Structure 1
Amino acid sequence: MHVAALGIAVIAVSSSAPLIAYAAAPALAIAFWRNMLAVGVLGPYAAARRRDELRALVRGDQRTEGRYSVLAGAALAVHFGTWVPSAQLTSVASATALVATQPVWQGLIALGQGRRLRPVTWVGIGIAVAGAVLATGADFGTSGRALAGDLLALVGGLAGAVYTALGERARAAISTTAYTLVCYAVCAAALLAVCLVGGVRLAGFDRSTWLAILGLVAGAQLLGHSMFSYALRKVSATTVSLLILLEVPGSALIAWAWLDQLPRAASVPGLALVVAGVAVVVLGGARAPRREPEAPL
C-alpha cells in the first residue's frame, strides 16, 4: 500500500512545477489557493470522521502531535512561499532540481536528531543530488532573475526537509486526514497573511489559470503531498525526501511535452543519475524499520 502511495505521489508532484509555470497568477496566490482549496476538500470529511481526533490535537492527549502538525504547516508555507515563485523566475527544470536538494537537508536533520544514516543512503543521496544539478546545469550567473529563482528554490528545499521531518513526528500517532488538514490550514493562513500584507492579487484570474490551480490541488497537493504524508507512517523522512527527487525527471518530461521546454541533451545523464540514486537507497534498504500498527487515513 505504501509503495503504491509513493508511486502516485511522485507522479502527482511531477505536475507541480509545469502547472505553476503555466498559471498566469502571482506565485504566492497560487501557493495560497492550492492549500486553501485542499482544506475545503478535506474539511467536511475530517469534521464527519475525525472530529474527536481533531479535538485531541487541540486540547486532548495528542497536543504534542498537534504542535508538530502546526509547525509542519508553517514550514510548508515557507516551502511554498519560496519554491513556487522560483518556478516562475527560473526554468521549471532548474527550480525542480534545486528544490530537490531536500534529501541533503533531510540527512543533516536526521543526524541532528541523533540518527545514524547507513552509508548506502549517503551514497544514494550524493548520486541523486549530483544528477539533479547535472540535469539542469543550474547556473547562478545568467541573470539576477534566474539567481533569485535559484536561491529561492534552495531555501524551498530546506523548508521542505523541515516540513517532512516534522510530519514524520506528527504522523507517528495521528491519521493522515487530521495531520494534512491541520498542516494545510496553517499553511494557507500563513500564506494569506503574507498575500494581504504584500498586496498580492488573489482573484480575477482567467479560466486557464484557475484550471491550473485546480490541477495543482487535485494532483500535487491531495495526491502528492498527502500521499507522502500517508507514507511517513512506515517510511523514513529521509527516504521520502529522496523519492521526491524523481520529480526532477518527471517535471522535465511534462514541461517538454506540454510547455515545449525541451530538456538539453546534456541533461539526460543527470536525469538518469537521479533515478539511479533513488534506486541505490531504496534497494539498499533505506526504509526505516518501524513496527507500530498502521494509523488510519
Structure 2
Amino acid sequence: MGDNQIYPYIAIVIGVISLSTAAVFVKLAGDVPPSIIANYRLLLAAFLMLPYVVVKKRQEIKMLKKKEWILTILAGISLAIHFIVWFESLQYTSVASSVVLVTLQPIFAFIGTYFFFHERFSSGTIISMFIAIFGSIIIAWGDVQIAGKALYGDLLAILGAIFITAYFLFGQRVRKKVSMMTYTCIAYSIGAIMLIMYNMILKNSFFHYTSFEWSIFVFIAIIPTIFGLNLLNWSLKWVSSSVISMGIVFEPVGAAILAYFLLEETITWSQWLGGTIIIFGLLLFIASTRRKRKMKMTITP
C-alpha cells in the first residue's frame, strides 16, 4: 500500500477519534443545559460553513424545490431533537452506555429503509440485529442495577439513535441533488433555529457562561462536527462506505477511553460485555448489508 493509499485510513482514524470527543465535551460542560450545548454545536458549525456555501454553492440552494425544502426542514428538526435527547442522556448515564446505544443508528436506518424503500432483510441481517439488541439489553440491565436514572439515560440514547435515523431518511432525497456541505449547512441552520426557539421557551440563558464553557461550545462545533465529519466524508472518495461504517462502530471505544482518562468514568462489566456484543453485532450487520443496502452512506453528526 503506497503512502497516498494510507492517507484515507489515517483520516478515518482521526475522524472517528474526533467524533468520540462529542459526549466527553457534553460531560465537561457540567451544568450547562444540554439543549444549549446542542444549540451552539449546530449554530457555530452552520456559521463556519455558511460563507463557503453562500459563495460557492449558491446555485445548489436555488435548485431546491418546495418538497425538498420540507424534507430538509424535517431533517433539521429531527437532528435538533437527536441532540436534545442524546445530550440529555449523558446527564443520567455514562458516556460508554450512551454512545454505544446511539451507535445502533445503522439498525434503525435499515428498518427505516425496509418500511420506506422496501429493503429486504437477509438472514444475516436479522441475526446481527438481534445480537446488537441483545447487547443493548445487557447494558440496560446492568445500568438499572446501578440506578433507575441510568436506565432513563439509556432510553434517551436509543431515542437519539431513532431521531438521527429520521434525519438521514428525510435528507436522503435532498442529498442526491446537492452537495454534503450545502445540505448539512441548511439542516444545521434549521436545527439551530429550532433549538433557539426551544431554549427560549425553557428560558435558558444564551450568554451567561464561563470562558471554559464557551470553549466547549467552540470545540464541540469544530472537532466532532466539522473536523471529524469532513475527514470521514473526504475519505469516501478513496474507500468504501462499509469501511467507514466499520470505523464509526468503534466510536464508543474511543469515547469510553476518553471518558476514563478525562472524566474518571469506570466501565462496568455489563457495559464491557454489552458494548462488545453490540459492536460485534453491528460489524456483522454492516458486512451482511454492504452489498444490498440502497441508502447512500451517511455519517452521524
Q: What TM-score comes out, normalization by structure 1 length?
A: 0.82
1:11 aligned residue: 17
- 1: CA distance between counterparts of 2:140 and 2:255? 12
The 3 A distance-change label for structure 1 pair 285 and 90 is closer
Aligned counterpart for 1:39 among listed residues 40, 46, 50 = 46
Secondary structure class of the residue paired with 1:261: coil
The 3 A distance-change label for structure 1 pair 143 and 277 is closer
- 2: CA distance between counterparts of 1:79 and 1:281? 23
1:94 aligned residue: 97
* Number of matched pairs: 288
Native 8 Å contact 1:161 1:241 kept in 2: no
- Report matched runs for 1:218-297 at 5 Å: 218-225=222-229, 244-284=248-288, 286-288=290-292
Structure 2 runs not aligned, ≥5 long: 1-6, 297-301
Q: Does 2:55 align with 1:48?
A: yes
1:295 aligned residue: none
Q: Larger deviation: 263-272 or 248-257?
A: 263-272
Q: CA RMSD in A?
A: 3.4
Counterpart amino acid of residue 39 in structure 1? A
Q: Larger deviation: 104-113 or 25-34?
A: 104-113
The 3 A distance-change label for structure 1 pair 23 and 257 is same
2:124 aligned residue: 120
Q: Does 2:84 align with 1:81?
A: yes
Instruction: Tell me the CA shift for residue 253 of structure 1.
Output: 1.3
- 1: CA distance between counterparts of 2:66 and 2:236? 19
- 1: CA distance between counterparts of 2:105 and 2:10? 22
1:66 aligned residue: 69
Native 8 Å contact 2:140 2:154 kept in 1: no
- 1: CA distance between counterparts of 2:55 and 2:244? 30
Aligned counterpart for 2:29 among listed residues 23, 31, 35 = 23
Q: Larger deviation: 257-266 or 237-246?
A: 237-246
The 3 A distance-change label for structure 1 pair 145 and 236 is farther
Q: Larger deviation: 108-117 or 28-37?
A: 108-117
Q: Does 2:169 align with 1:165?
A: yes
Native 8 Å contact 2:245 2:286 kept in 1: no
Secondary structure class of the residue paired with 2:17: helix
Native 8 Å contact 1:32 1:191 kept in 2: yes
- 2: CA distance between counterparts of 1:218 and 1:212? 10
Q: Larger deviation: 196-205 or 98-107?
A: 98-107
Per-residue deviation, residues 162-215 of structure 1 (Å, max 9, x unmatched) = 112223322122101110011100100001100001101222222222222222
- 2: CA distance between counterparts of 1:72 and 1:32? 15
Q: What TM-score comes out, normalization by structure 2 length?
A: 0.81
Identical columns (%): 27
